[in-house]
A and B are shown apart, each in its own frame.
Chain A
Amino acid sequence: MGLHVPVPGPVIGLLLLFGYLLIRPSAVDSIEPTAFELLRHLSLLFVPAGVGIMVAVDKVRGEGLAIVVALVVSTTLAIAVTALVTRALMRRQARRARVNTPSEF
């Protein structure tokens, strides 16, 4: 019986492991070698699914333009928005730190 949450199972696994490491940081040393060996070849693991494009391509025929435009515009916007918002907030944090520091002494 599942919990019927829409979040994918492996992501829940990720969070559980992350939480476990927060509670027990000493576990990092025993898990890390295995985890990094798996992650070193992460791109290999996408290949079987990627080959599935030969089946999927028939289903998305004629949508090439929509997909290319969506991908290019949205990725450009995502880079720009992430950078601009992060920088603006970092500058604000730095300004506040400068204002607050003298009073702490």
Chain B
Amino acid sequence: MTELGALWVYLAATPLLGLTMTLFAYLIAQGIYARAKFNPLANPVLIAVVLIVAVLSVTHTPYQTYFQGAQFVHFLLGPATVALALPLYRQLPKLRRAALPLAGGLIAGSLTAILSATAIAMLFGAPRVTVISLAPKSATTPIAMAIAERLGGLPSLTAVLVICTGVFGAVSARTILNVLRIEEPEVRGFALGVASHGIGTARAFQVSDEMGAFAGLGMGLNGLFTAFVVPVLLPIVLRWVN
């Protein structure tokens, strides 16, 4: 016990506090997520963020102090994004079999996601920084954050918007697809992956492996597509409006 106490004193005094808090909050959040039987509403990132924000607010700790330690975790986002090449490579045979339909669906769906989100935000008079942060919301979090950062949005806002998009898609996709009478599991999975990335993909895997595999493919392809299209498309849209 004293050993643990000494460890805590050491951790609390150094930038490692942020690191320790992040890991602990994530473990707790994972536990809650498992208890909730992996319900998308109990998203572990959302829970971990809420826990940490609560602790920081109560202890009046500024975000910068927290981030000094947490940056070591944050740094790994870059390598993890590069690592997405592996699951994408594994999906290649599926992609080859239905390349044209999937490419068509990807382009149509991805452009719909980007343009409708930016158009609605601008109609409501949201400022530029919000519109930029919102544009890549259907892409997977590391890619969406990198895009927002590159174009002058708020990566942290994007991170939260991406998660909310994922949760909303995972919860509502069944109803939307049933109304449209889409029955093919590969189409259902692909749409879920394109519109709501990893959280949608996790949901698709709960239904079936086939649906999950196509969702993973949709997530990977939309991440790439968004990364190339948003930096080109968004300045045009923003200029056209101003």
Chain A: residues with CB nearer than 8 A to chain B? Answer: 6-11, 13-18, 21-22, 28, 31-32, 34-36, 38-39, 41-56, 59-60, 63, 65-67, 69-87, 89-90, 92-93
On chain B, the residues within 8 Å of A16 by CB distance are 82
- Whether A77 touches B100, Cβ cut-off 8 Å, given contacts A13-B81, A47-B49, is no
CB proximity of B45 to chain A, nearest CB, Å = 5
Cβ < 8 Å to A, chain B residues 97-150: 98, 100-102, 104-106, 108-110, 112-113, 116-118, 120-121, 124-127, 129-130, 134, 137-138, 141-143, 145-147, 149-150
Contact assessment for B159 and A31 in the assembled complex, using a CB-CB cutoff below 8 Å: no
Cβ contact within 8 Å between A56 and B173: no
A43 to B228 Cα, complex, angstroms:
23
Known: A10-B77, A10-B142, A13-B81. A74 touches B70 (CB 8 A): no
State the majority secondary structure of interface residues on A: helix
Q: Which of B88, B154, B164, B180 contacts A71 (CB 8 A)?
A: B164
- Known contacts: A80-B180, A82-B108. The answer to whether A10 contacts B89 by CB under 8 A is no
Q: List 13 A-B contacts (CB under 8 A).
A: A10-B78, A10-B81, A11-B228, A17-B86, A49-B155, A55-B63, A55-B156, A70-B124, A75-B195, A79-B109, A79-B192, A82-B194, A84-B182
A71 engages B134 (CB within 8 Å): yes
* CA distance in complex: A22, B78 (Å): 21
Q: Which residues of B contact A65 (CB under 8 A)?
A: 124
- B25 an interface residue at 8 Å Cβ cutoff? yes
Size of the B side of the interface (Cβ < 8 Å), in residues, is 106
Cα A50 to Cα B129 in complex, Å, equals 17
Query: Does the CB pair A82–B195 fall under 8 Å?
Result: yes
A51 to B144, CA, bound (A): 16
Does residue B85 face the partner (Cβ distance < 8 Å to A)?
yes
Give Cα A56–Cα B191 distance, bound, in whole angstroms.
30
Q: From B168, B182, B187, give the contact of A75 (CB < 8 A).
A: B168
Q: How far is the CB of A5 from chain B (nearest CB, A)?
A: 8
B77 and A83 form a contact (CB under 8 A): no
A87 and B187 contact, CB distance less than 8 A: yes
B169: contacting residue among A45, A46, A69, A75, CB under 8 A: A75
* Cβ-defined contact, A51 with B52, below 8 A: yes
Report, nearest first, the 10 A-B pairs whose CB atoms are least far apart: A52-B156, A82-B109, A86-B105, A6-B231, A8-B146, A66-B124, A89-B101, A10-B81, A48-B70, A78-B113
Residue B80 CB within 8 A of the other chain: yes
